[in-house]
Structure formats: structure tokens, C-alpha cells
């Protein structure tokens, strides 16, 4: 009976992992699509947090005692909510989606390894260090044409820098979550609602708003996709994939995100795919895959 159910369970794990990959790649594409409209980055942050908080509020009326007084949860809400979102949506106003695929999910193994070493004392093994080398080369493939002027069109260095700041914020969030070991469902609800409580009043009173300058369809797309896709659905699917496939195998599949985002931007956003970008996407995805593989001793263990 168990052996008969094993293929079905594996299939569910792969479906959950690929659903996560598609949603995360779609996050990059939809964010860049919003960045090309009159919407400000502040607008998209508000649409995401407002929608997520609205949907999660019914599930958050009875959070565990002391949740709202926990300073660590508030730090995570600031770092993984307001700071990350502010940088990433500002970056996608200026930089193409392929750059986002390289500098956001592609850079995570590199940044998480560095921050885990500093904050947790977790020294990376040799295999992981070798996996970081292609990531560094892939990022260089994006940076070199910008610095040397070998690209065509407007420079995206400012947007790339903002996306890189967002990537650092998300890596810090990931390391702190591992260090403090909060329940994922509690964290998802608190970060969304706490971020909305802090951000939305500030946005409404002081930040520039261009909501009336785009069609309603764009507002609905940004609100629903950003608020439900990466915030809630991808989180559930990712945890399901890790439960069935394990963190290493799931992480290897997540390495597809930069490639899907970069290739999807060509027909959907009419963005050029240069030789430099192709090389960067391939190298970063290879590095992410190598970093996600289990250690050699673990692969040899039955």
C-alpha cells in the first residue's frame, strides 16, 4: 500500500514545487509589468499588502498570546515586508525582469550563505562554495555591460542596485527566520497584517499615488496576484514540496525561476534577451542548483 502511494506522493511534491516556481517567476514578470505602467512602487506595495491583509485577517483574529508584543516578529515584518517590498517594486520601475531573476532569486544562495556565516556561524562546505562561483560569474555577466557601456539603451544600474538591496533584505529575512524558528503560517499572517498596519496609513497620507492613472484591470491584477500568489499560495506550495521532496530537491527545482523569468520576459514584456543575459541566467541557475544539492555524503547514504 505504501509503495503504491509513493509515486502519487512524489507527483504531488513535484506539482507543488513547479507551482511555486511558476508563481515566483510570475511575481517577477507581473512586478515588472506594473513597473512599466504609471503605478509607483509605493502603489504596488499598497496593493499587495492591502490584498494579503484582507484575505488573511479572518485567519488572524486569534493569534497566539504575545504575538503582537514580540519584537522579533516586528523586525521580520519590517525586513521581509516593508523594506523588501519597497526596494523590489522601486527596482522594477527601472530594471528589466531578466535582471530581477538573476539578482533576486539567483543571488539568494550567495547572500544567504554569507549572512548565515556572519549571523549564525554556519560555515559553508566546499561543495556550496563551488556552487557560488557560477552565481558570481552570472551576476558579472549582467554588471559588466552596464559598467563598460557595452549595452544598448538606457542604463539600468540604479534599478539593479535597488533589486540587489531587496535581495539582501530577503536573505536577511530568511536567515533570521531560520535563527528564530517561527511557525511559517503564523509568520505569513503576522508579516502581511503588521506590514499593512504600518505601511498603509503612511502611504495614504504622505506617499505619491497614481492609482487613478491605470485601468482597473491592472489594479486587480497587481492586487490579486501580488497579494495572493507569492504571499500565500506559493508559501503553502513550497512547504508542501519541502515536506514531500525535501529541501535540497525543492531548492534545485527553484533554480528554474531565473530562467523562466528571463525567457518569459521576451514575449510577455518585449524585453531583449542578449548574449550577456543568457549567460547570466544559465550561470546563476546552475549555481543555485549546485547549492541546493545535498552534500555528497548524504547522496551516498541509502
Domain spans, the chain: 2-300
| Spatial distance between the Cα atoms of 272 and 269, rounded to a whole number of angstroms | 9
Q: Among residues 104, 99, 261, 94, which one has the least CA distance to residue 167?
A: 104
| Spatial distance between the Cα atoms of 272 and 263, rounded to a whole number of angstroms | 10
Q: What is the pTM of this model?
A: 0.91
Contact partners, residue 74, CB within 8 Å, separation at least 6: 194
Q: What is the pLDDT tens value at each position of the chain, 302 positions in all?
A: 444 456 678 889 899 999 999 999 999 999 999 999 999 999 999 999 999 999 999 999 999 999 999 999 999 999 999 999 999 999 999 999 999 999 999 888 889 888 989 888 888 888 788 888 898 998 888 877 766 665 555 678 899 999 999 999 999 999 999 899 899 999 999 999 999 999 999 999 999 999 999 999 999 999 999 999 999 999 999 988 988 888 778 888 888 899 999 999 999 999 988 888 899 999 998 988 888 776 655 544 44
Amino acid at each position: 500500500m505504501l509503495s503504491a502511494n509513493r509515486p502519487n506522493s512524489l507527483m504531488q511534491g513535484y506539482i507543488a514545487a513547479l507551482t511555486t516556481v511558476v508563481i515566483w517567476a510570475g511575481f517577477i514578470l507581473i512586478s515588472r509589468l506594473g513597473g512599466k505602467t504609471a503605478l509607483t512602487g509605493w502603489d504596488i506595495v499598497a496593493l499587495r499588502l492591502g490584498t494579503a491583509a484582507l484575505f488573511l485577517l479572518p485567519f488572524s483574529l486569534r493569534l497566539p498570546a504575545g504575538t503582537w508584543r514580540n519584537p522579533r516578529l516586528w523586525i521580520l515584518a519590517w525586513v521581509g515586508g516593508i523594506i523588501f517590498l519597497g526596494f523590489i517594486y522601486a527596482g522594477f520601475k527601472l530594471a528589466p525582469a531578466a535582471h530581477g531573476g538573476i539578482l533576486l532569486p539567483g543571488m539568494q544562495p550567495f547572500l544567504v550563505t554569507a549572512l548565515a556565516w556572519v549571523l549564525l556561524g554556519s560555515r559553508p562546505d566546499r561543495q556550496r562554495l563551488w556552487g557560488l562561483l557560477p552565481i558570481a560569474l552570472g551576476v558579472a555577466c549582467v554588471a559588466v555591460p552596464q559598467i563598460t557601456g557595452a549595452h544598448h539603451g538606457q542604463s539600468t544600474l540604479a534599478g539593479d542596485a535597488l533589486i540587489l538591496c531587496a535581495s539582501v533584505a530577503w536573505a536577511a529575512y530568511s536567515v533570521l527566520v531560520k535563527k528564530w524558528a517561527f511557525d511559517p503560517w503564523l509568520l505569513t499572517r503576522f508579516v502581511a497584517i503588521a506590514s499593512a498596519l504600518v505601511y498603509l496609513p503612511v502611504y495614504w497620507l504622505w506617499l505619491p499615488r497614481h492609482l487613478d492613472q491605470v485601468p482597473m484591470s491592472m489594479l486587480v491584477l497587481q492586487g490579486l496576484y501580488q497579494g495572493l500568489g507569492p504571499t500565500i499560495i506559493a508559501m503553502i506550495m513550497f512547504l508542501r514540496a519541502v515536506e514531500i521532496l525535501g529541501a535540497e530537491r525543492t531548492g534545485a527545482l527553484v533554480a528554474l525561476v531565473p530562467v523562466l523569468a528571463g525567457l518569459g520576459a521576451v514575449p510577455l514584456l518585449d524585453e531583449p534577451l542578449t548574449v550577456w543575459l543568457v549567460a547570466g541566467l544559465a550561470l546563476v541557475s546552475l549555481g543555485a542548483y549546485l547549492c541546493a544539492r545535498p552534500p555528497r555524503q548524504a547522496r551516498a547514504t541509502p
